[in-house]
Structure 1
Amino acid sequence: MASSTTKEIVHDFPPFIRVYGDGRVERFMGNDVVPSSINPDTETGLSARLYIPKTPNPYHKLHLLVYFHGSGFCLETAFSPTYHNYLNSLVAEANIVVVSVDYRRAPEHLLSIPYDNSWAVVKWVASQLTANGGEVWLKEYVDFDRVFFAGDSAGGNIAHNMAIRVRLDGAKLVGMVLIHPYFGGKGPVGFEGADGNIIGKAVADKFWLFVYPSSNGSDDPLFNPVVDPKFSSMVYDKVLVCVAEKDFLKDRGWYYKEELGRSGWGGVMEIMEVAGKDHVFHLFKPTCDNAVALLKRVACFLNENNA
């Protein structure tokens, strides 16, 4: 018979994830996997899924997007149907190459492990420019002077933190797309202190400590990027922040954009707010008009000034 300690629930975030006293983890979503159709690239146990357009032209190099999936650092994978389908659509719309990063998930692998895994894949991508042999899809089809990072929710958080670290030998990070990014902070911003969003902020702060219990709190620069002394020193040229009106993280997206503008960073900032929609709505209803519009906006951003 299981002991009371074994049955004890120590973390509970319905309807997403539950952790028991014996370390057992129940994930209530994001468990399905799309089998690899050709080849998931692997390196030291890490993996990524690669996407190329249907008819790539080796004589016209394509932009490269490194994508970090979301779901709170602990749900979904780069191989889940949700992200497989979304990135297939984005590749077709934008005519780009995508590397979808898979990272080990919390709570079995607490932060900073997902950051470190993501960084290892970023370095591997950059190394393909000069590698002997290497990944054919990247070497033949990618313009390494046109590299982008993107992610949604926790993946947006990862994308930003990779951009803070980035030094790509021979490759150039041009821009970043943050879709409903998971950021926080000790003090409320925007409407976070209002009745309508105070609960959402509390949950976001609590969840941060769940996935990163050794963090110094909500003002950790990994969670509240505007307090990072390196915030204004990122090397990319432009950023698109996407927010949704009913998303409890909306104010953090706006705050990121506004504070980046005040920081002295010299790049181009864009923001897109979708009315009447909630967090990552585009992943759950990808064919709705607003999701299609968001997809097209991201594709346009990735191809602006395309030579």
Structure 2
Amino acid sequence: MESSADEIIKEIPGFIRVYKDGRYQKLGGTATVPAGVDPSSGVQSKDVVISPDTPLSVRLYIPKPQTPKKLPLLIYFHGGGFIIETAASPIYHSFLNLIAAESNAVILSVDYRTAPDHPVPACFHDSWEAIMWAALHGSGSGPDPWVNEYADLANVFFAGDSAGANIAHHMAIRVGSENPGGGVNLQGVVLLHPYFWGKDRVGSESDDNPWTSSIADLWKFAHPGTSGVDDPLINPDMDPRVSDLGCSKILVYVGEKDILKDRGWYYKGILGRNGWRGDIEVIEDEGVDHVYFLFSPYVDSACTLRTKICAFINNQA
């Protein structure tokens, strides 16, 4: 935090307002929308509590009309700096309705716990618990009838944006290093504007950029016990398990105006240097900022992004 006696306010877009004296005010992520049937797409959604003790829930999406064959399962981790947003946030509910309809995929959106009430690594623990819950349905006799009937556990994908992309990356490592009994066959991972960082600047990053210190502040707020911005949870280049990713393909999207852009490009190099043998594609959208596709879902680049995700999920890319 700032050492000056004067109160200094830093605006972190879409996340929080940080005050010098340690007080924090959330700027967003409080509105929610109920599950149900989306009138424009016919996609059905419902919330399922999977761990009453936490409590931990997921929001499930089933596209209409259902076909006799089982559908790919996309497990999604929302963004928000590990601090704001939920699986029921309007922007995520709308985005995942579109993905479910356009991809003809079942989606499981994880409503993990957020900081400051539940600091990192609670979000990682919750996300893994949700994956293990999904794995219970591999034989068709799991606790939820929708997942049993419609989801193909042999055809699973992870995806997330910003902090959620970070979580998706780490969950893929756990699948590769721990192998959840074969219950989840992870085919690929989609990282949208991933929230990675580090002490040393990469690409066009600069210590003079006003957002550089804000990103570090955000991470330290979300994870007070962190070793810093070279913590393997935020800097994949410091993770000795980074090559354990348990999938064969990765799709990364970055935005030209996003300060995190070069971390997405750098991620490809990290995997290559560490011996990961899968296929990775990085796509940069011109003229856009961080997670623009959530707020402007019908601009051409956002529609193209969803089309690419759909092709990736359906093994057409």
Q: Do both share a fold (TM > 0.5)?
A: yes
For residues 12-27 of structure 1, what are the structure 2 equivalents within 5 Å? 13-14=11-12, 16-18=15-17, 26-27=25-26
Taking a change above 3 Å as real, the CA distance of residues 286 and 148 of structure 1, as seen in their structure-2 partners, is same
Residue 42 (structure 1) aligned with residue 53 (structure 2): no
Secondary structure, aligned partner of 1:39: strand
Q: Which of residues 40, 63, 77 in structure 2 aligns to 1:68? A: 77
> In the TM superposition, what is the alpha-carbon distance from 1:87 to its structure 2 partner?
0.3
User: Is structure 2 residue 114 aligned with structure 1 residue 102?
Assistant: no
Structure 1 regions of 5+ residues with no counterpart? 1-7
The aligned residue for residue 164 of structure 1 is 173
- Identity, % of aligned positions: 48
One-letter amino acid of the counterpart of residue 50, structure 2: E
Partner of 2:3: none
Cα distance in structure 1, aligned partners of 2:10 and 2:138: 44
Gaps spanning 5+ residues in structure 2: where? 1-5, 37-44
**Alignment deviations for residues 75-107 of structure 1 (CA, whole Å, 9 cap, x no partner):** 111001100000000111111010000011111
Residue 127 (structure 1) shift: 1.3
User: Partner of 1:269 in structure 2?
Assistant: 280
Distance 2:309 2:161 in 1: 12
Alignment match of 2:66 (pick from 45, 56, 60): 56
Contact 1:218 1:224 in 2 (8 A): yes
Q: Deviations over 1:109-147 (max 9, x none)?
A: 111111111111111111122474521111111111110
Is the partner of 1:43 in helix, strand or coil? strand
Contact map agreement 2:257 2:287 (CA 8 A) in 1: yes
Q: Contact 2:18–2:25 (CA<8 Å) still a contact in 1?
A: yes
In the alignment, the residues of structure 2 paired with residue 241 and residue 142 of structure 1 have an alpha-carbon distance, to the nearest angstrom, of 24
What SS does the corresponding residue of 1:220 show, helix, strand or coil? coil
Paired with 2:300 and 2:118, the residues of 1 have a C-alpha distance of 37
Aligned length: 296
Match of 2:124 among 115, 139, 155: 115
1:304/1:207 CA distance change after superposition, 3 Å: same
How many angstroms does 1:60 deviate by? 1.1
Contact 1:239 1:270 in 2 (8 A): yes
Instruction: Give the match for residue 29 of structure 1.
Output: 28
- 1:139-195 CA distance string (max 9 Å, x none): 111111110100000000111111111223232111100000000011111111375
Residue 41 of structure 2 corresponds to which residue in structure 1? none
Alignment of 1:180-259 (within 5 A): 180-193=193-206, 195=208, 198-259=209-270
CA distance in 1, matches of 2:19, 2:211: 24
Distance 1:293 1:225 in 2: 28
The match for 1:5 is: none
**1:24–1:120 distance in 2 versus 1, CA, 3 Å:** farther
**Matches of 2:137 and 2:20 in 1, distance apart?**
43
Aligned alpha-carbon RMSD (Å)? 2.3
Conserved? CA contact 2:50–2:58, under 8 Å: no
Counterpart in 2 of 1:4? none
Q: Write the distance in 1 (CA, Å) between the matches of 2:20 and 2:304.
A: 44
Classify 1:219/1:142 alpha carbon distance in 2 versus 1 (closer, same or farther; 3 Å): same
Q: 1:13 to 1:116 in 2, by over 3 A?
A: farther
For 2:136, the aligned partner's letter is S
1:40 is paired with a residue whose SS is strand
Cα distance between partner residues in 2 of 1:25 and 1:194: 24
CA distance in 2: counterparts of 1:28 and 1:194, whole angstroms = 25
- Contact 2:75 / 2:107 at 8 angstroms: preserved in 1? yes
**8 Å contact kept, 2:254–2:282:** yes
Report how far residue 201 of structure 1 moved.
2.5
- The separation in 2 between residues aligned to 1:269 and 1:261, in whole angstroms, is 9
Measured after TM superposition, the shift of residue 262 of structure 1 is 2.5
SS in 2 for 1:290: helix
Structure 2 contact 252–282 (Cα < 8 Å) conserved: yes
Q: Tell me the distance in 1 between the aligned counterparts of 2:83 and 2:259.
A: 19
TM-score by length of 2: 0.87
Report the residue type matching 1:114 in the other structure: C
